[in-house]
Amino acid sequence: MAQKTKYNMVKEKITDWITSGKVKPGEKIHSENELVKMFGVSRHTVRQAVGDLVHEGWLYREQGAGTFCSFRQEENEQTVLPAQTNGKNIGVITTYISDYIFPSIIRGIESYLTAQGYSLTFACTDNDIEKEKQCLQTMLSRNIDGLIVEPTKSSIYNPNIHYYLELEQHNIPYLMINQFYPQLAPPHIVVNDEHGGYIATEHLIKLGHRKIIGLFKTDDLQGVNRMQGFIRAFREHGITFFPDMVISYSTEDMNEKVNDRLNKFYSSDDRPTAIVCYNDQLALMVLDVLRNHQISVPEDVSVVGYDDSFLAETFEVKLTSVAHPKMEMGIEAAKRIVSAVEGKDNNPQSIIYEPELVVRNSTAPIKSKDIVISQE
């Protein structure tokens, strides 16, 4: 993960010496000038590398004598924060708690943390940047040892970046779930939403549908990615894509916008034969609108949801939906933050889950009368 700057490469080499046992605690490492010659970099660069390692506790310097390997690398992380004897505290910040999908993630996190004797401090932002700021401040002023965040409005610029930088300064590990801010490039656990949008759309294309519309929430990256997968499916299958086939909305204008556009579509003759939805909850809304127009699913129109929530199973039409491991993601997030907090894994790796399509009754092959002459 560390960028491949020269000083980072020097740092890596030196830490390698230590971890491999080539240099033992208390032993002198090569002098700055020697390192300059060895790595072919300037003394400034060597000093930056060594200086960093001194701060991180790997080495210590003695003027006039040399630079030496530290005796206690174990205590690297413990130098800043005082030891909290019994069980640590992990912060969790999410956007919505009422959304039917988050409870399973939070439940995953909670179950693992409690089992480990950790406690969980919780806050949610309602997808409001001002509230996110407040939550981060509260978390920082508490003695949290790690943080799991679902970023707020991740598709637009986020002004709260410096709070995350400060977490790094204090050596408090954090990871992002569901989405992440590209500017920070933190460890993250996400679903490959682009692929999810793609397979949902591809499924419909393979059933013969051409007039497919997509409904996506675009104030978070999840929605934007699903939309991109939607569009890619058109391109890769050589199907003409018209911009008005995508309806994007934000949390605030969801109700009006989706209703309006959908009603417009189904009042005209240019009716789509399939609809890809941002999530299952939206799919329910769509089904409700369709019912009001006396349009039956899947006979007249196919509908695909996303999340494979319990809603997909309990509805009158069982929803075809894109599935991803919700609870596992929570557990995995908890596991990684715990091992990061315990210093077992200073640079947790990211995971990208590949979603899968669960086909149910809401999608069907296109009816012969609806087939349009291919325009390619």
Partner DNA sequence: TTTAAAAACACGTACGTACATAAGTAAAAA
Partner DNA sequence: TTTTTACTTATGTACGTACGTGTTTTTAAA
Which positions lie near DNA, rule CB under 7 A?
3, 5-8, 31-34, 40-45, 47-48, 61-67, 157, 159, 161, 183
Q: In the stretch 84-103, what mask flags binding to a copy of itself with x, by CB under 8 A? A: x-xx-x--x----xx-x-xx
- DSSP assignment string, 137-180: HHHHHTT-SEEEE--SSTTS--TTHHHHHHHHHTT--EEEES--
Of residues 5, 288, 296, 354, which one binds a copy of itself by CB under 8 A? 288
* Closest residue by Cα to residue 350 from 321, 329, 368: 329
Instruction: In angstroms, give the least distance from the CB of 214 to a copy of itself.
Output: 21
Closest approach, Cβ 325 to a copy of itself, in A, equals: 15
Angle at 19 between CA 18 and CA 22, to 5 degrees: 50
Q: Answer yes or no: are the C-beta atoms of 360 and 321 closer than 8 Å.
A: yes
Minimum Å distance from CB 64 to DNA? 2
Assess 134 for contact with a copy of itself (CB under 8 A): yes
Helices and strands per DSSP (H, E), number in the chain: 12, 14
Helix 326-341 to helix 102-115 angle (10° resolution) is: 40
Residues 336-365 that bind a copy of itself (CB under 8 A): none
17 binds a copy of itself (CB under 8 A): no
The three-state secondary structure class of 199 is helix
Helices 32-39 and 43-56: crossing angle in degrees, nearest 10, is 120
Q: Which does 71 bind (CB under 5 to 8 A by kind): a copy of itself, DNA, none?
A: a copy of itself
Q: Shortest distance, CB of residue 42 to DNA, whole angstroms?
A: 3
How distant, in Å, are the alpha carbons of 4, 225, 240, 288 from that of 191?
27, 10, 27, 28
Q: Which is nearer to a copy of itself, 142 or 206 (CB)?
A: 142
E strand residue ranges, 7-152 = 59-62, 66-69, 89-94, 119-124, 146-149
Rounded least distance, CB 229 to DNA, Å = 22
Which amino acid is present at 352? I
For residue 68, the cross-strand partners are: 28, 60
DSSP letter at 6 equals H
CA-wise closest residue to 27 among 35, 38, 17, 37: 17
Instruction: For DNA, give the closer residue by CB, 3 or 98.
Output: 3
Of 40, 82, 238, 243, the residue at the interface with a copy of itself (CB under 8 A) is 82
Q: Which of 20, 21, 157, 170 binds a copy of itself (CB under 8 A)?
A: 170
Among 18, 106, 247, 276, binds a copy of itself (CB under 8 A): 106
What secondary structure letter does DSSP report for 28? B
Question: Near a copy of itself by CB under 8 A, which window of 104-112, 199-207, 209-217, 227-235?
Answer: 104-112
**CA–CA dist 112, 331 (Å, integer):** 6
For a copy of itself, the binding residue among 1, 38, 80, 352 (CB under 8 A) is 80
Please state the closest distance from residue 99 (CB atom) to a copy of itself, in A.
8
Q: What is the CA radius of gyration of the chain?
A: 26
CA angle, 285 as apex, 284 and 291 as ends, to 5°?
90
**Residue 348: CB minimum distance to DNA, A:** 21
Verify binding: residue 112, a copy of itself, rule CB under 8 A.
Answer: no
Per-residue mark of binding to a copy of itself, 34-73 (x: CB under 8 A): --------------------xx-x--xxx--x--x-xxx-
268 binds, among DNA, a copy of itself, none (CB under 5 to 8 A by kind): none
| Interface contacts to a copy of itself, rule CB under 8 A | 26, 54-55, 57, 60-62, 65, 68, 70-72, 75, 78, 80-82, 84, 86-87, 89, 92, 97-98, 100, 102-104, 106-107, 110-111, 114, 117, 119-124, 126, 131, 134-135, 137-143, 161-163, 165-166, 169-170, 284-285, 288, 291, 314-316
